[in-house]
Amino acid sequence: MDDVPFIDAHHHLWDLRGGRLRYPWLETPASHPHFLGNVAPLPLVYLPAEHRQHAAHHRIVASVHVEAECDRTQQVEETRWLHEMHEQHGLPNAIVAHAWFHTGDAESIIATQASFPLVRGIRSKPVTRPTPGARLPRLAGSMQDPAWRRGYALLERYGLSWDLRVPAWHLEEAADVLREYPRISAVLNHTGFPWDRSTEGLAMWRRGMHALAALPNCYCKLSCLCLLDGQWDYGDNSRVVLEAIDIFGVERCMFASNFPVDGLRVPFARMFDDFKNMTAGLGRANQLALFHDNAKRFYRI
């Protein structure tokens, strides 16, 4: 499998040493709790050269940059900077930009982002509950917010997809959104966040995954299998990956690194060696789809 071309369907770039963008969650991590805990060990600089170095063991041929939560006043500037990275280094080859759906300037920002040639989609994280049993903190910005729904509907007008990132306890709610807007393509980030690997937790995750997979406009990124506690576990993660593929089908899944963030738990080379071993029984044609073809088709690379 070392010769199989690979499109990294989800990674991030940033430069905290003299770069023109600000990243509050990286600059003051104590004020921005992360689901993987302490993000202070993340590199201050992560540019195309660093990404290629991490991926050197694998035949990376293209990549998709997903917005890296820079200061939200700089969301368009991030897209402009990423185009400069592409012109200078050949990566990334597609961009998932940021725009809020519920704000008064939603259409203006979405239209501006769509005007950039590499932009294929938007990632806009809705307000969610902190735990399965908690109350929704507020309506504004949630998937139940009428303003949020109106902003989401704009993606069809501008020919953009949605990178869906919510905890597992919101997957069924997200399926309701996708069902209402069948002409907007969406891709679930991070395998639906199966953080709770207990019998009950996986049952909740499984219900949401089946609800989304029932919709032909939804795809799934196989990525970010890291947990708050503990290191990368091949056996446990293999079961989750193969079940996700079984639920969505080979033709609607794609592998992604989520680097450098996932580097907090596992080296790039080991992660993708493991992904290849996990799917070895599916055959070469299916592995080509999972590592390359599906991302190429979805993100129009």
Tens digit of each residue's pLDDT (9 = 90 or more) over 139-191: 999 999 999 999 999 999 999 999 999 999 999 999 999 999 999 999 999 99
Bridging pattern class, strands 161-164 and 94-98: unpaired
Per-residue pLDDT, 243:
98
Q: What are phi and psi of 110, to 5 degrees?
A: -60, -45
For residue 212, give Cα distances in angstroms to 216, 262, 282, 286. Answer: 8, 24, 23, 21
Alpha carbons 198 and 89: distance in angstroms, whole number: 43
Tens digit of each residue's pLDDT (9 = 90 or more) over 82-128: 999 999 999 999 999 999 999 999 999 999 999 999 999 999 999 99
* Domain coverage including residue 130: 5-298
pTM: 0.96
Q: Provide the β-strand partners of residue 12.
A: none
Count of domains forming the chain: 1
Q: Which among 194, 144, 183, 139 is positioned nearest to 161, based on CA atoms? A: 183
What is the mean pLDDT of the segment spanning 257-261? 98
CA triple 210-296-157, angle to 5 deg: 75
| H or E element that contains 220 | strand 218-222
Per-residue pLDDT, 93:
98
What is the mean pLDDT of the segment spanning 259-286? 96
Q: pLDDT confidence of 19, banded at 50, 70, 90?
A: confident
CATH code where residue 135 lies: 3.20.20.140
